[in-house]
Amino acid sequence: MERIFVKDIKIEEQKEVLVQGWVHSIVNLGKINFIKLRDKSGIIQLVVEEDSIKGIRNEVAIEAIGAIVENPKAPSGIEIKVSELKILGEAYYDVLPFEINRGKLKSKLEVQLDHRSISLRKPDQRAIFKVQGEIEDGFRSFLKSKGFSMIHTPKIIDSATEGGSEMFTVDFYDNRAFLAQSPQFYKQMMVGAGFERVFEVGHAYRAELHNTWRHLSEYVSLDVEMGFIKDEEELMSLEEEMINYIFKGLSDTCKSELEMYNIILPEEVKIPRIPLKEAQDILLEKFNKQCPPGNLDADGEKIFSKYVKEKYGSDFVFLTEYPISKRPMYAMPHESKEGVTRSFDLIYKGLEITTGGQRIHDYEMLLGNIRKFGLEPDNFTFYTETFKYGMPPHGGFAIGLERITMKILDLDNIRQSTLLPRDIKRLVP
């Protein structure tokens, strides 16, 4: 007999089915026992006679054959009257590290993460990754429909020249190499290589020295780069359209998962675009909040996000025109506005989830900027070579997959939306 998933079981009185899964809970009433069987797709009640439950404990993997019976008292209105019950995977534990068959997980996040393959057995924990998977799928299919090519670029790289946060070093055949902080240079090079429009879903690495609720040492970056653009406005429009596409997808595919977290996604997302300087002025004037030069701090992002939500009804806001001094050497300077670049951040519910912008495409200008930043052009020839052979105007952005997942579901900590997180304190499991 073919296995049926719980979600596919319909009321067909007395129909025999074969189900497989884990013992979610057992209620022993003497002669009759109720076992809740949990599979990937849901939970169903099994009615089992006393003599067949030998060796059955919570979390044992089982297979049951039985007849479908309607029972208004059963949690799903259906139960299975079991005629055959078999253990497929024995249990060897004394006690579970924490309860996973009722209410919310009560143990600390660190304990949940220590026993990740146990905490994920709770349906609401796996639901996070269903949502995450659909975000990624939406990202892919949206970009594919716009003519973007999927690429995979190296994560072991030669030079630690991307700037910004610290990098991890790798012993690469006795040479010092690094783990890529982002595919930035490579995605630009692939635009120049004739792919024109590329995206990559891949790991990015940051040797973050602080253990915060929003940083990971290893995360999944959704990267986009597009050639032949007019300016950064085109990129923001692309990202806005993509977010609408993803949200629409989630509303279709993740109805029950969103409900678990009490999330109602907006029908349409319209994202205000506000120059950073203006945001800083508003923060100072309206909230007496001082910002660090050329940026918002985490607090500023939160307060400003709240302000935008109240004023524009949007959970998102693009901050534009970041100053040259706060952006990497490849950021395109604004030709008519002094000291700022054609770059942007996207803030979502108080957290930066995207950095993006137009890049410099002229070879001489790029070399000049590398020098202006006090860097040595010779260290970048692997990257700048592409620019010698006709590089079109281009730009792009990146979204942190764990960040957008966390924020969509209103989670408190980025580790909740990471299957197996890595940070300064965590390298296992």
Residues 6+ apart with CB under 8 A from 58: 23, 24, 25, 26, 91, 96, 101
Q: Verify binding: residue 91, a second copy, rule CB under 8 A.
A: yes
Q: Which of 26, 61, 160, 265 binds a second copy (CB under 8 A)?
A: 61
CA–CA separation, 318 and 274 (whole Å) = 6
C-beta closer to a second copy: residue 61 or 109 = 61
Q: Which of 38, 215, 407, 415 binds a second copy (CB under 8 A)?
A: 38
Closest distance to a second copy from the beta carbon of 190 (Å): 7
For 187, list phi and psi in degrees, rounded to 5: -70, -35
Select the span of 67-75, 145-153, 311-319, 336-344 touching a second copy (CB under 8 A): 145-153
Q: Verify binding: residue 39, a second copy, rule CB under 8 A.
A: yes
Q: Verify binding: residue 74, a second copy, rule CB under 8 A.
A: no
249: DSSP letter? H
Q: How far is CA 394 from the centre of its chain?
A: 25
Q: Which of 72, 293, 374, 390 binds a second copy (CB under 8 A)?
A: 390
User: Is-cis flag, bond preceding 275, omega within 30?
Assistant: no
Token output for 272: 């205000």
Q: Which of 4, 6, 9, 22 binds a second copy (CB under 8 A)?
A: 22
For 99, list phi and psi in degrees, rounded to 5: -70, 135
Closest distance to a second copy from the beta carbon of 114 (Å): 9
Closest distance to a second copy from the beta carbon of 380 (Å): 10
Q: Verify binding: residue 220, a second copy, rule CB under 8 A.
A: yes
CA–CA separation, 14 and 316 (whole Å) = 52
Q: Which of 34, 98, 129, 213 binds a second copy (CB under 8 A)?
A: 129
Q: Verify binding: residue 242, a second copy, rule CB under 8 A.
A: no
Q: Verify binding: residue 293, a second copy, rule CB under 8 A.
A: no
Residues 6+ apart with CB under 8 A from 204: 180, 181, 182, 183, 218, 219, 220, 221
C-beta closer to a second copy: residue 92 or 310 = 92
C-beta closer to a second copy: residue 214 or 361 = 361
Please answer whether residues 283 and 292 qualify as being in contact, where contact means their C-beta atoms are separated by less than 8 angstroms. no
Q: How far is CA 412 from the centre of its chain?
A: 14
CA–CA separation, 105 and 285 (whole Å) = 42
**Closest C-alpha to 92, from 60, 53, 62, 119:** 60
The reply to whether 206 sits in an annotated binding site is yes
Q: Which of 86, 106, 108, 152 binds a second copy (CB under 8 A)?
A: 152
∠ Cα 160 227 365 (to 5°): 55
Q: Verify binding: residue 212, a second copy, rule CB under 8 A.
A: no
Q: Verify binding: residue 72, a second copy, rule CB under 8 A.
A: no
E strands within 207-256?
Answer: 218-227
Please answer whether residues 319 and 274 qualify as being in contact, where contact means their C-beta atoms are separated by less than 8 angstroms. yes
Q: Which of 184, 386, 405, 416 binds a second copy (CB under 8 A)?
A: 386
For 78, list phi and psi in degrees, rounded to 5: -130, 145
295-324 residues in contact with a second copy (CB under 8 A) are none
Closest distance to a second copy from the beta carbon of 152 (Å): 5
The reply to whether 57 sits in an annotated binding site is no
Select the span of 19-27, 65-73, 286-294, 328-336 touching a second copy (CB under 8 A): 19-27
The reply to whether 352 sits in an annotated binding site is yes
Q: Which of 66, 350, 357, 393 binds a second copy (CB under 8 A)?
A: 393
C-beta closer to a second copy: residue 282 or 367 = 367
C-beta closer to a second copy: residue 238 or 391 = 391
The reply to whether 225 sits in an annotated binding site is no
Q: Verify binding: residue 257, a second copy, rule CB under 8 A.
A: no
State the amino acid at position 222 in one-letter form. L
CA–CA separation, 336 and 338 (whole Å) = 6
Numbered residues of the known binding site for L-aspartate: 162, 206, 355, 359
